[in-house]
Amino acid sequence: MSLDVASATPNESVAPAAVTRTPVKRTILMCKPEFFTVVYRINPWMDPALPTDTSLAVAQWQTLYDTYIGLGFDVHLIDPIDGLPDMVYAANGGFVIDGIAYGAKFTYPQREPEGPAYMDWFGANDFDVREPVEINEGEGDFLLVGDVILAGTGFRSASNSHEEASAIYGRPVITLTLVNPSFYHLDTAIAVLDASPTSGNGEIAYLPSAFDEPSLAVLRERYPDAIIVTEEDAAILGLNSYSDGFNVVIAAKAKDFERQLRARGFNPIGVDLSELLLGGGGVKCCTLELRR
């Protein structure tokens, strides 16, 4: 099933009064970047000619891991595989709701082996694994917000995968079309700040220029109080963040986003993942939520 939302007036970006927020413990999956490097180019962020520092990537990832542990998250780890340098971006490995793990089927051959690797992990950890028919890149393009799944298309995931996800989960899926190749996954252009159905439609932040006009109409109608981030913060993948409903882990340099989050009653926590940014990933890319 799908939703068709009528056009709406542009978002005025007026912040509502801050509210009291309560963190919700998260269970997530991560992958240590022991084999991280950039040896091919499948997004605008990647340049094999630029040097990468695997030890620095590991150290920065460790800071993110430690941050999650400090927040009380239940963090699971999947073993990295030599020859799969992008496996650190665990969000792309699948999409998990109600213990059902919808596997990923990657666009580019360089990442294809990651799909089976993550599905093997899901199966070994008692998830109900659904093997994909359609091309999708997991939680990179599927975001659960309130009572719906926001689903990205345009660069990586096929729109047919949106129908597949809706059939698997029995939830409405809203298709959003990405138009800027620098924001090639939905989780680079939208941050889910509060996904709870008890908060209505949930709360998000997003970058308007990443979407086509019909998609913007949907976002403006459904999320009239969304945070609108600056181009500067989006350009360092500031939106590629992860929230527990109160604490929001973001790119350390996304200062205006940090300011807006504080004004809304969130607690932003900045981390530096600049080395992993060379592969086109940030906080959220390294974080796959496991919903039982």
**Catalytic residues, which ones?**
185, 285
Give the pLDDT band of residue 3 (cuts 50, 70, 90). Answer: very low
Residue 13 lies in a domain: no
Number of domains in the chain: 1
Q: Average of pLDDT values for 131-142?
A: 98
pLDDT at 6: 33
pLDDT at 15: 55
pLDDT at 9 over 80: no
Instruction: Decide: 42 and 278 in contact? Cβ < 8 Å.
Output: no
What is the span of the domain harbouring residue 101? 27-289
Instruction: Decide: 88 and 52 in contact? Cβ < 8 Å.
Output: no
Q: Average of pLDDT values for 210-214?
A: 98
Residue 202 lies in a domain: yes
Give the pLDDT band of residue 68 (cuts 50, 70, 90). Answer: very high
pLDDT at 200: 77
pLDDT at 145 over 50: yes
Residue 73 lies in a domain: yes
Please count the CA atoms within 13 angstroms of the CA of 283 that sit on its side-chain side: 30
pLDDT at 53 over 80: yes
pLDDT at 4: 36
pLDDT at 212 over 80: yes
Residue 229 lies in a domain: yes
Residue 5 lies in a domain: no
Quick one: tokens of 235? 């350009």
Give the pLDDT band of residue 270 (cuts 50, 70, 90). Answer: very high
DSSP string, 39-58: -S-SSTT--TTS---HHHHH
∠89-213-132 over CA atoms, to 5°? Answer: 40
- Straight-line distance from the first to the last Cα atom of the chain, in angstroms, rounded to the nearest whole number: 23
User: Quick one: what percent of the chain has pLDDT higher than 90?
Assistant: 90
Q: Average of pLDDT values for 212-220?
A: 98
Distance CA 193, CA 145 (A): 9
pLDDT at 19: 82
pLDDT at 292 over 60: yes
Q: Look over the chain and give the mean of its residue pLDDT values, rounded to a whole number.
A: 94
Q: Average of pLDDT values for 242-253?
A: 98
φ, ψ dihedrals at 288, nearest 5°: -110, 120
Instruction: For residue 205, give the CATH number of its domain.
Output: 3.75.10.10
Instruction: Specify the pTM.
Output: 0.93
Helices (H), 76-159: 114-124
Least confident of 14-23, 116-125, 171-180: 14-23
